[in-house]
Amino acid sequence: FMQRGLDSQTKKQLEEEEKKIISEEHWYLDLPDLKEKESYIIEERSFMPCEDLLYGRMSFKGFNPEIEKLMIQMNSKSKKEEIEVDDKMEADVSDEEMARRQLYIFYYLYRYETLVGTIGKKFVRKRDQGVLQDEDEDGSSNTKPSKKVKKKFLKPQD
């Protein structure tokens, strides 16, 4: 019902009519709006933020090493010394992660190479087909006959 190219005037008229219809049917309180006073008092029913309580799970003298690690983590979080702890932990983790990610990258590169080789053959031009056949006969892609001057896709060396 919102037609294109409708004048702004006619649009306004339509909206006013709609509002009239709605206001007759809608029930509303005939009270003045209560201004929500800008309250700067926040109500809080828990003791945790008031007294800065520690975390409830504790372990002492190495009885439960995981809980002791957790204690350091949780209690330093509240004192905002977490930054240092996180940096140290992140450094340890990132070395392992880096090594693992590098392995993944090498794996994917290898797969990519072989994939490129097989798909590359599809798009090779007629001129280069002779080259390809030579390659296949040779059995290895790195050795080329000396008379070939053609530019080929250079595979990245490991």
- Binding residue for another protein (CB under 8 A) from 27, 28, 63, 123? 63
| CB-CB contact of 118 with 151 (8 Å) | no
Question: Using the rule CB under 8 A, is 5 a contact of another protein?
Answer: no
- Binding residue for another protein (CB under 8 A) from 34, 60, 149, 156? 60
DSSP 8-21: HHHHHHHHHHHHHH
Tell me how many residues contact another protein (CB under 8 A): 31
Query: Minimal distance in Å, beta carbon 82 to another protein?
Result: 13
For 34, 43, 82, the CA distances from 40, given in Å and listed in that order, are 17, 10, 30
**Residue type at position 105:** I
| CB-CB contact of 155 with 113 (8 Å) | yes
Q: Which stretch binds another protein (CB under 8 A): 69-77, 94-102, 103-111, 125-133?
A: 69-77
Question: Using the rule CB under 8 A, is 58 a contact of another protein?
Answer: yes
Query: Minimal distance in Å, beta carbon 64 to another protein?
Result: 5
Half-sphere exposure for 20 (CA within 13 Å, toward CB)? 6
Neighbours of 135 (CB within 10 A): 20
Kindly identify the residues of this chain, within the stretch 78-117, that bind another protein according to CB under 8 A: none
Q: Which positions lie near another protein, rule CB under 8 A? A: 37, 39-64, 67, 70, 74-75
